[in-house]
Amino acid sequence: MRDVVALWLAARDSRVPWHAKAIAAAVAAYALSPIDLIPDFVPVLGYLDDLLLVPLGILLAVKLIPAPVMADLRGKAIGHRKQTSKAGLIAVLLAWLAFVALVVYSAWANIAAKI
C-alpha cells in the first residue's frame, strides 16, 4: 500500500517524467478506487486484477520513476493517511457503463434485425 500512495504522490511531483506520471496516476487511481473493474465475486477473474494488474502496474511505474525520487516519495507515503480515489471510482463506473451500453446496443440491434 505504501508504493500505491507513493505513486499517488509521484503523479503530482514535478521531478517525475510525464509518462511516468501518467502511469503512476492510472495505477494509483485504480488501486485506490473503492470498486474493482472486475468484481471479486466473479470466479478467478475477480482476483486477477488484484493479483496481476495492480502489482504489474506498480512495478512498471516504479521502474519509470528515478530511484532517488521514488525513495523520497516512499518516505513521504509512510506519513500519509489511507487515500481513496474518486478518479478511479469514476473511471471504473464509466467502463462498466460503456460495457452495459454496448450490451444493450447489441441486444437491440439483434432484436431489430429479427423483426
CB burial readout 24-33, b (16+ within 10 A) else e: bbbbbbbbbb
Can you give the pLDDT of all 115 residues of the chain as single tens digits?
Answer: 788 888 888 888 899 999 998 988 888 887 777 667 677 677 777 777 778 888 888 899 999 999 999 998 888 888 776 555 677 677 777 877 888 888 888 888 888 787 7
Cα separation, 83 vs 44, whole angstroms = 27
Collapsing DSSP states into helix, strand and coil, what is residue 42?
coil
Strand (E) or helix (H) holding 11: none
Could you tell me the CA-to-CA distances from 2 to 40, 82, 83 in Å, in that order?
A: 22, 9, 11
Tell me the pTM.
0.61
Residue whose C-alpha cell is 470466479: 43
